[in-house]
Chains A and B, each alone.
Chain A
């Protein structure tokens, strides 16, 4: 695959953003940052897997898991790809929680601080910030394998 092809894919993803559902577009935008790293996710069948709503409630920026990814601190954004549940206090991450680093830049290319990253993560209900404990637990259950351990 050439860089042009990679660029072509991200371009297509970017174009798709205009037409797909809001949570989906945010997720696609987050995935753009993973083009240049390998991603593996192992499927867990729904029958065997308890939902994670008791484990992973949303937290504020100060309590959220984040990494120094070189340039500066980057927040981890977790979602189920399908938005929040009925405005309730808990957040169901679905059968396959997914996560990625929140974007470092806004759509105009301006750098975003942690609050800005968090806002982008939550944009239109696409994702939540979770605690380090929840993050470790999810990784221990085989999720979020595309991200580093704490």
Chain B
């Protein structure tokens, strides 16, 4: 877990748009992204990542801690890897951008 996180030291993610249209369906969400015209389907944790970043840019470690606290999860070795993959997917979709500290 520490090795994974250290590879993302000093990297912050922030959302590209605050204009997402979000609809909740019993704990699942459809999200419309105006810039791309795409509709995404997210579960609660997927959306929580976006709301965490919308509050303020955050590092992988901070995101994992937020999620852990919010969902009362005991973090295991695989969890940061799942979050990294999700962040990379969000990045590829243009939902979020990464920035290196002091850049």
B93 at the A interface (CB under 8 A): yes
A36 contacts which chain B residues (CB < 8 A)? 45, 71, 73
Query: 1/0 per residue B27-40: CB within 8 Å of A?
Result: 10000000000111
A39 at the B interface (CB under 8 A): yes
Q: How far is the CB of A13 from chain B (nearest CB, A)?
A: 10
A1 at the B interface (CB under 8 A): yes
The interface on chain A, measured as residues whose beta carbon lies within 8 A of the other chain's beta carbons, has a size of 19
A136 at the B interface (CB under 8 A): no
Q: Which residue of A lies closest to B87 (CB)?
A: A38
Q: Is the CB of B44 within 8 A of A40?
A: no
Tally of contacts, chain A with chain B, CB under 8 A: 62
Q: Is the CB of B39 within 8 A of A42?
A: yes
A37 at the B interface (CB under 8 A): yes
Select which of A3, A9, A37, A43 is within 8 A of B40 by beta carbon: A43
Q: Is the CB of B38 within 8 A of A6?
A: no
A70 contacts which chain B residues (CB < 8 A)? 76-78
Q: Most chain-B Cβ atoms within 10 A of its Cβ — which of A1, A35, A37, A40?
A: A40
Q: Is the CB of B82 within 8 A of A41?
A: no
CA distance A32 to B39 in the complex (A): 23
B27 contacts which chain A residues (CB < 8 A)? 9
A3 contacts which chain B residues (CB < 8 A)? 71-73
B8 at the A interface (CB under 8 A): no
A87 at the B interface (CB under 8 A): no
Q: How far is the CB of A46 from chain B (nearest CB, A)?
A: 13
**Which residues on B are within 8 Å of A, measured CB to CB?**
27, 38-46, 48-49, 70-73, 76-79, 81-83, 85-86, 89-90, 93
Q: List 26 A-B contacts (CB under 8 A).
A: A1-B44, A1-B48, A2-B72, A3-B73, A6-B71, A6-B72, A34-B43, A36-B71, A37-B45, A37-B79, A38-B42, A38-B43, A38-B48, A38-B83, A39-B42, A40-B40, A40-B42, A40-B86, A40-B93, A41-B41, A41-B42, A42-B39, A43-B39, A43-B41, A70-B77, A148-B85
Q: A37-B79, A38-B42 are known contacts; what are 16 more A-B pairs with Cβ within 8 Å?
A: A1-B70, A2-B72, A3-B73, A6-B72, A9-B27, A35-B43, A36-B71, A37-B82, A37-B86, A38-B46, A38-B49, A39-B46, A40-B86, A42-B39, A43-B41, A70-B78
